[in-house]
Structure 1
């Protein structure tokens, strides 16, 4: 934010991020604050919760370290925020007098915890009259309103006024529309049905990053040769506990479906099985292949590597794939336990989905080409990167995935995988590893009963009662219910690009059929 016109800058804070907790399980208190204050100006930082406000005051007072951010006081050079109060900054609590002596270029007034009685902005007014820039930190909207400007802490910016309109589809209508587009592009009906099912399943489970929004890209890759619609996967080896399948650059879903089916069936017979898939393309949401493991009552583990889009801890360049891991645990008559996640802080497709809708992303999701946190989703395709989740522990999970799904299964690693958007005329040449284990081979442990003990223990850890979503698969269950009741939203830009019409798709903006 720019300082007041005609006044010299007093304080600039850029991209301030403050977190607490152990590495890999951090909780964000301040998510990318940028604020400027001019001499003689009062700027209020309005926080919705006191903990975040306290964290900001502590950082500016030199009592707390920020994970990321830079600060400039007066005409000084920008410096990383560190646990030492910057020269020229004074911190007072509302209701306290200003410190004596020379006026400070910057005064931070803590109005979240007044010294006594009601919060008082008199110190802020006095400091501004004396030529200081004043940062007024408060949780009270009435106090914030008295400032020259207000910056909201951790409140995401509002989406553009003209938010992109959507059409809503029933699951059946969306599947039919996707199948029609693929068949029109020369894909066989059976193969088109499989690809459409995987995409729509992701949308129905709330993972729009892996849904029909990918279909325009798939069609473009078909036209340019990156996907061979007629490619038939071939088994390099089938005997023994490990099988190897060459996808031959076809639709990723075709080889993945074949691999999941073979892996689950073989594990049910022998207790343990693995299928490696190499030379493949994008296979969609890994959880889309869960039914094979459930049908054969085996625990499934699927690992996938992709092209570089993730940065190592502290890095700015994307050098690792946003690899994925999925576990499926059948639970008899109940829904299976499904754990499905990317090794980046977030799946790259979620960032592109936000860009599609003209919405910002959280500052923790993305860094730009200089390694700085950004809320602009367009930065991903300008050379930005998704940070690996969980710091060096998350990097460890990514390396494990690279070894199993990349080196062993595919004889490759993610830096060698072709990015499907950047190289639409080439197969990705990515790889997957499907593993399955039969509980019967382990003496038939009471899987469902012990998972219930585990889930009850997790829920009991919340003194005020467990939130509605506190375990994997619960969010997807809610999304599936919403899809059944309200339909699946698809941006009209995608609908129009695919040439779908209301007659053909049974799509009605604002409603489902």
Structure 2
């Protein structure tokens, strides 16, 4: 059932990644973003779609650009350093587009790591950052390990809880390999990202039991709810006490602490929908050990995991990042699938803001 909550060639239109970058950049610039910030915002969204994370991909340009145009987001924006040390910084996202502030915060973290081995930045006054692992992956080209996470307004019940109290609070982690694909972890601390429920509803498929429950009685949901409301909640990763729901719950609270409490921007239950506080980190591997040796050991570990005998009925053992890398290979070669309704909405939005429709 899970495999059905995906885009395919019957419900989507394939578009070259370069054309999407051009289209999205022009839309962002038309609503007041600087050319640099427009390029950044587009790049993050296109990267998500290229890697198969469609819920956090190019279709979000419609909502983001409307928020910029109506003043919900402040554009042009500034990522302002509030306080810092050699290895840390607290920055304000300036109420701007979250994609931009998280990107620029990771740039700060990387520069600090180059000088001192480690850089950490907490971000307040922010908004939705899209695919959270994108920012962790920015460290890879610098031979660094990256980590990133973000809070969100309540959508998830705590373990044993009958009320939404936590965001999906995702975590991203990336580490470079040598000959093998880089390690790339992108996970919500809920059983599933909330966007997948919306995607299932749009393309008309059920959701697996265990993704969410009705509130306050805890009944299973298989028909995708119509938007966010107080009648249902996503489950924490693990779902039930017996299956380890306390682990997803604990990770979610950890994200709230690093992103919301450390920044002072507020933890999940204090956030309005659309507000997000974030945290990023870069680690310079070369300050610990020889980078080539590190990558060689990463290769050994990844190969051993791939060589693990699969369970009956399973094709092969995957390593985090494999599905996204497979999607990237396909989509860069054959175009990025954009859900038909969202493809039309992007084209319509481009016309609305007065830029050329190029997709």
* 1:362–1:191 Cα change, 3 Å: same
CA deviation string 1:411-468 (max 9, x = no partner): 5211111112xxxxxxx1x211112222233233732222233223323432569844
CA deviation string 1:151-182 (max 9, x = no partner): xxxx68989xxx98432201011122222222
1:375 to 201, 219, 222: 222
Cα distance in 2 for partners of 1:158, 1:476 equals: 17
Gaps of 5+ in 2: 239-244
- The structure that has the greater radius of gyration is 1
1:108 alignment counterpart = none
Cα distance in 1 for partners of 2:116, 2:110 equals: 10
Residue 444 (structure 1) aligned with residue 296 (structure 2): no
2:345 to 475, 486, 497: 497
Whether the aligned pair in 1 keeps the contact of 2:145 and 2:176 (CA below 8 Å) is yes
Whether the aligned pair in 1 keeps the contact of 2:23 and 2:350 (CA below 8 Å) is no
How far did 1:249 drift? 0.3
1:252 alignment counterpart = 98
1:483 to 331, 336, 339: 331
Residue 415 (structure 1) aligned with residue 269 (structure 2): yes
1:454 alignment counterpart = 301
Cα distance in 1 for partners of 2:277, 2:37 equals: 20
Give TM-score, length-normalised by structure 1.
Answer: 0.62
Cα distance in 2 for partners of 1:157, 1:193 equals: 32
How far did 1:380 drift? 4.7
Residue 215 (structure 1) aligned with residue 69 (structure 2): no
SS in 1 for 2:280: strand
Residue 432 (structure 1) aligned with residue 286 (structure 2): no
Cα distance in 1 for partners of 2:205, 2:214 equals: 17
Residue 339 (structure 1) aligned with residue 191 (structure 2): no
Higher relative contact order (CA 8 A, sep 6+): 2
Give TM-score, length-normalised by structure 2.
Answer: 0.86
SS in 2 for 1:255: helix
Gaps of 5+ in 1: 1-154, 421-427, 508-513
2:141 to 295, 309, 313: 295
1:472 alignment counterpart = 320
Cα distance in 2 for partners of 1:299, 1:290 equals: 7
2:86 alignment counterpart = 240
1:326 alignment counterpart = 172
How far did 1:198 drift? 0.6
Cα distance in 2 for partners of 1:220, 1:366 equals: 29
Cα distance in 1 for partners of 2:167, 2:350 equals: 36
Residue 393 (structure 1) aligned with residue 240 (structure 2): no
Q: Which has the higher helix share?
A: 2
Q: In angstroms, what is the RMSD of aligned CA positions?
A: 2.7
SS in 2 for 1:448: helix
Q: Which has the higher strand share?
A: 1
How far did 1:184 drift? 2.9
SS in 1 for 2:302: helix
Cα distance in 1 for partners of 2:195, 2:311 equals: 34
How far did 1:291 drift? 5.0
